[in-house]
Amino acid sequence: MSEDTVSEETEETDTIGFKIVTGVAALAAGWVAQKTLTTAWKSITGNDAPEDPDDDTASTVAVVIFAATAGAVSALARVIATRSVRKVAARSAARR
């Protein structure tokens, strides 16, 4: 990658519009991932997802597994959304 390409990419990703779109995409992806995980948890375990760690009806193991899975799925969704927005912005900039 040449220095010109890097500086143009940096200029594109430093705009406030890019940051807003990236943030909205990451939030939307996280929301969809959470809803999908909650639905999958219910269909796999037959129980509602443990939403409140202080709830005595959920086992500690279930709470830990759900929290770890939710964190991983959320992080993955955020990365995918951010990279997708970056690719779309790069394609859009290349057309100009």
* pLDDT tens digits, one per residue of 4-39: 444 455 555 668 888 898 889 999 999 999 999 999
Instruction: Tell whether the model's pLDDT for residue 67 goes beyond 60.
Output: yes
pLDDT range class, residue 44, cuts 50, 70, 90: very high
CA–CA separation, 86 and 72 (whole Å): 21
Domain boundaries, the chain: 31-96
CA–CA separation, 37 and 24 (whole Å): 20
How far is the first Cα of the chain from the last one, in angstroms, to the nearest whole number?
A: 20
Helix residue ranges per DSSP H, the chain: 3-13, 16-45, 60-95
User: What's the CA angle centered on 73, arms 11 and 15, to 5 degrees?
Assistant: 15
Q: Which residues lie closer than 8 Å to 74 by C-beta, 6 or more apart? A: 30, 33, 34
pLDDT at 4: 47
Amino acid (1-letter code) at residue 96: R
Q: Quick one: what percent of the chain has pLDDT higher than 90?
A: 40
Q: Is the pTM of this model over 0.75?
A: no
Q: Is 64 helix (H, G, I), strand (E, B) or coil?
A: helix
Instruction: Tell whether the model's pLDDT for residue 65 goes beyond 60.
Output: yes
